[in-house]
């Protein structure tokens, strides 16, 4: 299963979404550059398979099995094919070598957000990361800054709690009169919040954040981005807007962000998280300076 973007896909994406161009284009360029200088470790991998193989070093831990309570790394040798993702390689390892190897996955197309791992020192979606783009051997660990349940599966409750705490749903002050009447959004407004709507709740950003690691109450990039998505939505009305502002500027809200950009660097949906947090900081200042 390949999710490698073809040239034409990349182009249509940037064509139709002008707002993403700078940020997204830069990441795509980076990616291409990495592919270019990938070393020949592949060729050297000795093999019982025909053709190229890639070594996968995977974090293992299982508190329920005697002898596996101590975390360790297992190495799997996986036959490489073009277009193979980290998730594909993990699935191969599980199906061929060790059916107890545990990780979450579902959609295989960067939509469900269940397979964020720490791959070669960076938070990435397994299904979105091409083995080809990485240095070999590939090291796969569970997301940092969260407790490990088993192997690559981490406790997500805290992340989900933070997401829920910002009221991640549309909640207008007034409903239109007619039962079937639409609540229209202007094109301009939709454009403003477009990137923020892309979040798939994968938790990569939260895991990358040093501040979130040190402050368990910090809302975190994803939750603040979610707050941004609704705060910037013109349709809710001033009452809800005020409520949202209070959540945003609470003690463990936007002001905890120290603009390290780690979240923006890792977000698999290319959401400019730091930019959104900074924009909310400026909104909070403006609202508080208003004395009329």
Partner 1 sequence: MSESYDRGLVADFGRWTEFSAGMWAWVFHKFTGWVLVGYLFTHISVLSTSLQGAQVYNSTLSGLESLAIVRLLEVGLLAVAVFHILNGIRLLFVDLGVGLEAQDKSFYASLVLTGVIVVASVPTFLTGAF
Task: Output the smallest distance, CB 257 to ligand SF4, in A.
Answer: 13
Indicate which single residue of 29, 147, 164, 191 sits in contact with partner 1 (rule: CB under 8 A). 147
CA distances from 195 to 127, 163, 179, 182, 229 (A): 21, 17, 30, 23, 9
Indicate which single residue of 2, 106, 210, 258 sits in contact with ligand FES (rule: CB under 6 A). 106
- Closest of 269, 287, 280 to residue 228, by C-alpha: 280
User: Which one, 103 or 231, has the nearer CB to ligand FES?
Assistant: 103
- Closest of 198, 193, 218 to residue 206, by C-alpha: 218
User: Which one, 105 or 252, has the nearer CB to ligand FES?
Assistant: 105
Apex CA 258: angle with CA 284 and CA 271, to 5°? 75
Indicate which single residue of 11, 155, 173, 191 sits in contact with partner 1 (rule: CB under 8 A). 155
Does the footprint of partner 1 cover residue 55 (CB under 8 A)? no
Picked from ligand FES, partner 1, ligand SF4, none, the partner binding residue 108 (CB below 5 to 8 A depending on kind) is ligand FES
What's the rounded Cα separation, in Å, for the pair 36 and 52? 18
CA distances from 291 to 40, 285, 287, 288 (A): 64, 12, 9, 8
Does the footprint of partner 1 cover residue 71 (CB under 8 A)? yes
- Closest of 251, 258, 249 to residue 288, by C-alpha: 249
Picked from ligand FES, partner 1, ligand SF4, none, the partner binding residue 106 (CB below 5 to 8 A depending on kind) is ligand FES
Kindly give, in sequence order, each residue whose CB lies less than 8 Å from that of residue 282, ignoring residues fewer than 6 positions away.
Answer: none
What's the rounded Cα separation, in Å, for the pair 48 and 267? 37
Picked from ligand FES, partner 1, ligand SF4, none, the partner binding residue 267 (CB below 5 to 8 A depending on kind) is ligand SF4
Contact 59, 152 (CB under 8 A): yes
Contact 277, 260 (CB under 8 A): no
Indicate which single residue of 78, 86, 89, 110 sits in contact with ligand FES (rule: CB under 6 A). 110
Picked from partner 1, ligand SF4, ligand FES, none, the partner binding residue 105 (CB below 5 to 8 A depending on kind) is ligand FES
Does the footprint of partner 1 cover residue 42 (CB under 8 A)? no
Task: Output the smallest distance, CB 275 to ligand FES, in A.
Answer: 23
- Closest of 117, 123, 124 to residue 140, by C-alpha: 117
Does the footprint of ligand SF4 cover residue 146 (CB under 6 A)? no
CB atoms within 10 A of CB 35: 13
User: Which one, 126 or 142, has the nearer CB to ligand FES?
Assistant: 126
What's the rounded Cα separation, in Å, for the pair 136 and 40? 9
User: Which one, 92 or 230, has the nearer CB to ligand FES?
Assistant: 92
Binding site for ligand SF4 (CB under 6 A): 199-205, 221-222, 225, 267-269, 271, 273
Binding site for partner 1 (CB under 8 A): 22-23, 26, 61, 63-64, 71, 121-122, 144-145, 147-149, 154-155, 210, 213, 258-262, 265, 272, 274-275, 278-279, 281-282
């Amino acid at each position: 299963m390949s999710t490698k973007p073809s040239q034409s896909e990349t182009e249509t994406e940037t064509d139709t979404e002008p707002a993403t161009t700078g940020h997204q284009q830069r990441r795509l360029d980076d990616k291409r550059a990495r592919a270019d200088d990938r070393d020949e470790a592949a060729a050297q991998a000795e093999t019982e398979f025909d053709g190229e193989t890639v070594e996968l070093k995977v974090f293992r831990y299982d508190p329920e099995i005697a002898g596996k309570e101590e975390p360790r790394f297992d190495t799997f040798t996986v036959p490489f094919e073009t277009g193979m993702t980290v998730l594909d390689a993990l699935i191969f390892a599980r199906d061929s070598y060790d059916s107890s190897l545990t990780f979450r996955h579902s959609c295989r197309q960067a939509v469900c957000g269940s397979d964020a791992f720490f791959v070669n020192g960076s938070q990435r979606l397994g299904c979105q990361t091409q083995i080809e783009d990485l240095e070999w051997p590939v090291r796969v660990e569970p997301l940092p800054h969260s407790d490990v349940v088993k192997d690559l599966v981490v406790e997500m409750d805290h992340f989900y709690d933070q997401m829920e705490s910002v009221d991640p749903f549309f909640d207008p002050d007034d409903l239109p009169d007619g039962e079937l009447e639409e609540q229209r959004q202007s094109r301009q407004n939709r454009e403003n919040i477009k990137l923020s709507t892309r979040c798939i709740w994968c938790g990569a950003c939260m895991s990358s954040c040093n501040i979130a690691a040190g402050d368990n109450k910090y809302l975190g990039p994803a939750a603040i981005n979610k707050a941004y998505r609704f705060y910037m939505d013109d349709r809710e009305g001033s009452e809800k807007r005020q409520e949202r502002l209070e959540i945003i500027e609470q003690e463990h809200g936007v002001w905890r962000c120290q603009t390290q950009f780690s979240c923006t660097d890792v977000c698999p949906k290319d959401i400019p998280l730091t930019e959104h947090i900074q924009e909310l900081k400026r909104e909070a200042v403006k609202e508080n300076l208003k004395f009329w």
